[in-house]
Chains A and B, each alone.
Chain A
Amino acid sequence: MMDSMIPVLAGTLAAATPLIFAGLGELVAERSGVINLGVEGMILIGAIAGFAAAAETGLGPAAGLPAGALAGMGAALVFAVFALSLAANQAACGLALTIFGIGLSAFIGQHYVSYSLPGLKPLSIPLLSDIPVIGPVLFHQDAVVYLSLAAFALVAWVLAKTRLGLLLKAVGESPEAAHAIGYPVLAIRYGAVLFGGAMAGLGGAYLSTVYTPLWVQNMSAGRGWIAVALVVFAAWKPGRLLLGAYLFGAVTILQFHAQGLGIALPVQLLAALPYLATIVVLVLISRDRRLLQLNLPASLGKPYLP
């Protein structure tokens, strides 16, 4: 029994990785008071940019991951110019970015359909990976999985322990007050949105160059939307976000196994299960309206021009 669980648990970490990146990025942007619904688009733009860079240079993920992050950041910059400098409606700009990302990635991806990449070998950490069960699950993963955990630790530490984290929260609550005591509100929000874009792009590039190293149109399959939902239901707390992402990852892997076992359920229903399970569980654990209201960045979605 334990042995059959190991691949499931090990797969969970990898399946959750794109969500962790995209979710952390969106969490930082929302903490600063900007809701970017373009996460799905930024993931796809990052995915195709990463795939193209990996394929054309022949360097694989080493070129693909930075390229994906840069492309995601570029997409976020377009969003930021409209939603921040021009104070356009954030929801509308984000939706436009998602639609644009879907179209652009499909267009560029035409050249790469059914082209596959070598991917990335798992990295075994000496000694630790020999521990039974925990070893293969936690310490026999590809390098990007470790990177996602490092990113989580970094974001959680910055938000909880540093002046920058306080400043993000302050700007998200009251840009007026932050401006009054002399902080550059727009610059801070630009930074947060660009970070969000880079993280979404990185998540996308991981999908296309490591997780399933071949190009499939619309391969993010709604993960961007799940990331946006995760941030809200996690009450803007990184720890809860991580849990939500692993839940999604676990159900994703489990339903693959269920498909393999030939369970008599339509494949489409099984494929929808991770989304359904994640939302249901998150809604249940975040029923406390006060918790959400206390953590909600008060200026979320409201444009601010100094």
Chain B
Amino acid sequence: MSQTPPRLTLTGISKRYPSVVANDGVSLSVAPGEIHAILGENGAGKSTLMKIIYGAVKADAGEIRWNGQPVTIANPAQARKLGIGMVFQHFSLFETLTVVENIALALDAPFDPAALALRVREVSERYGLPLDPHRLVHSLSVGERQRVEIVRCLLQDPKLLILDEPTSVLTPQAVQKLFDTLRRLASEGVSIVYISHKLHEIQTLCDSATILRGGKVTGEAIPRDETPASLARMMIGRELPVCEAPPYSGPSRPVLEIRQLSQRSDDPFGTSLTDVSLTVNAGEIVGIAGISGNGQAELLAALSGEAPSGKTTVWLDGEAIGHLHPGRRRARGLAFVPEERLGRGAVPSQSLAHNALLTGHRHGGMRRFGLVSYARARQFAQDCIARFDVRCGGPLAAARSLSGGNLQKFIVGREIMLSPKAMIVAQPTWGVDVGAAAFLRQTLLDLSRSGVAILVISEELEELFEISDRIAVLAQGRLSAAVPKAEADAESVGLQMAGLFNAEASHASA
């Protein structure tokens, strides 16, 4: 080791924010050509640590060594000059510019789009990341956008590549391709820092791992020598919780039906829905897989009533409700948990009691003589907090003071307490810690077994396979037929997510 110093060494990195310690004495070291995992839950401090390495955030204390030399990285431009490239979780691309224009803006080279387009093509093909340099970014799929980010980094000839949760938006096939590319880069001597909370990915890809919890390093490991359980213990401090899905024995009848729904999107960057049909029966959970941007937002808006469609396109318990507005649909027993918790599921600045009123004023028993009873709203919120284990400062706490997981428990709980006939949930565990995610999944399973029809739209395939009875795929505004979970596998679902419906048909007939 004395001849080749580690490419990157962090010693005692600390970063404090007013309300939270994001990093507390974090140390790690990455060798040339090593793929190093940073494993941790949401809020463990992974992203802050990476921003410190990339110069976007300044550490309060600690030392960074680059090839053995102490350095201070003041800004991203300096990080790039050292040879550090970063692929962001939320892409830093400009939608109205072309691929090559986006890349040109990040390079220091003289501005020559024509010559750059040739290099983009060459590099993207060499690493198995095919890209058309002249497409506008807003017309690209999420996976293609990620390629743009990676190619942009590669053109800067990086010595260290940081990827922040790169697979959260990819199909299983695209993940395999990405891993091939990363392995190839590592074999050429590029160090890779791979941030994730997905244990199996880290076990297949990474040479070593640093595990963070609550801003501190709680373990260092060779992932291949560990089991998912032992990694999970280091990551969350206990065993990974498992959900139980008992069989449903009650009467089965269609509750929520979508019939040949086609709807043009008003948003020029949106996706139009084409001939979407689906039935959700009492007592089952139907999962809709797919990468967001393939019509999810439009389908949710059509179902919730934010974008009403033709009368006979949506049916609830035998009644056509496609033309009704959200309030009328809720009054008929359709509950809805949107993807954005703050701003759509709850009003950030208002108390939980007031947020309970938002949807609970109809069935929640919060009205007396036609007027709102705040005492009853408080009681409702209190009951919800107790029943769904919401950790907060009580019914008068503002919604935005809750963590993502606890607010989601409150919102889901609020809807369940209104005894819906059908419930639509978008990204139920997005940005939620592992413990709360397991609780939420179990809650949804229990609710469905009580006879409620549940539709879950999620980007997390594993989650859908865990809780759904049947799975359909939404791609380019079209919905595949829902197949029982036992007949679906991650590979065929992944192909459908990429929009290859025919491949699925031939797969089924084979």
Chain B's interface: helix, strand, loop or mixed, by majority? loop
Q: Which of B70-95 contact A (CB under 8 A)?
A: 75-77, 80, 88, 91-95
Pick the contact of B92: A162, A180, A290 (CB < 8 A): A180
Whether B76 and A177, one on each chain, are in contact in the complex, defined by CB atoms closer than 8 angstroms, is no
Does B106 make an interface contact (CB < 8 A)? yes
A-chain residues with CB within 8 Å of residue B91 when the two chains form the complex: 177
Does B101 make an interface contact (CB < 8 A)? yes
Distance A166 CA – B101 CA, assembled complex (angstroms): 7
Whether A182 and B111, one on each chain, are in contact in the complex, defined by CB atoms closer than 8 angstroms, is no
Whether A294 and B268, one on each chain, are in contact in the complex, defined by CB atoms closer than 8 angstroms, is yes
**Most B Cβ at <10 Å: residue of A178, A180, A293, A298:** A180
**Most A Cβ at <10 Å: residue of B88, B93, B96, B111:** B96
Least distance between B367 CB and chain A CB atoms (Å): 39
Q: Which of A142-160 contact B (CB under 8 A)?
A: none
Known: A181-B106, A290-B268. A174 touches B77 (CB 8 A): no
Does A169 make an interface contact (CB < 8 A)? yes
Q: Can you name the residue of chain A whose Cβ is closest to the Cβ of B76?
A: A182
Least distance between B159 CB and chain A CB atoms (Å): 18
Whether B88 and A180, one on each chain, are in contact in the complex, defined by CB atoms closer than 8 angstroms, is yes
Does A30 make an interface contact (CB < 8 A)? no
Distance A176 CA – B92 CA, assembled complex (angstroms): 8
B-chain residues with CB within 8 Å of residue A162 when the two chains form the complex: 111
A-chain residues with CB within 8 Å of residue B267 when the two chains form the complex: 293
**Most B Cβ at <10 Å: residue of A169, A182, A290, A293:** A182
By size class, the interface of chain B is 20 to 34
Does B174 make an interface contact (CB < 8 A)? no
A269-295 CB mask vs B (1 if < 8 Å, else 0) is 000000000000000000000100111
Does B97 make an interface contact (CB < 8 A)? yes
Known: A163-B111, A166-B105, A182-B75. A293 touches B94 (CB 8 A): no
Does B56 make an interface contact (CB < 8 A)? yes
Does A167 make an interface contact (CB < 8 A)? yes
Least distance between B155 CB and chain A CB atoms (Å): 13
Does A185 make an interface contact (CB < 8 A)? no
Q: Can you name the residue of chain A whose Cβ is closest to the Cβ of B102?
A: A170
Does B104 make an interface contact (CB < 8 A)? yes
Distance A244 CA – B91 CA, assembled complex (angstroms): 37
Whether A169 and B97, one on each chain, are in contact in the complex, defined by CB atoms closer than 8 angstroms, is yes
Whether B56 and A166, one on each chain, are in contact in the complex, defined by CB atoms closer than 8 angstroms, is no
A82-113 CB mask vs B (1 if < 8 Å, else 0) is 00000000000000000000000000000000
Whether B96 and A294, one on each chain, are in contact in the complex, defined by CB atoms closer than 8 angstroms, is yes
Distance A298 CA – B269 CA, assembled complex (angstroms): 12
Pick the contact of B96: A167, A173, A182, A290 (CB < 8 A): A173
Q: Which residues of B contact A (CB under 8 A)?
A: 56, 75-77, 80, 88, 91-97, 101, 104-106, 111, 267-268
Q: List 8 A-B contacts (CB under 8 A).
A: A166-B97, A169-B96, A173-B96, A174-B95, A178-B105, A180-B56, A182-B76, A298-B96
Pairs A-B, 3 closest by C-beta atoms: A163-B111, A182-B77, A177-B92
- Beyond A173-B95, A177-B94, A182-B106, 12 extra complex contacts between A and B, CB < 8 Å: A162-B111, A163-B104, A166-B97, A166-B101, A167-B105, A173-B97, A174-B92, A182-B80, A183-B105, A293-B268, A294-B268, A295-B96
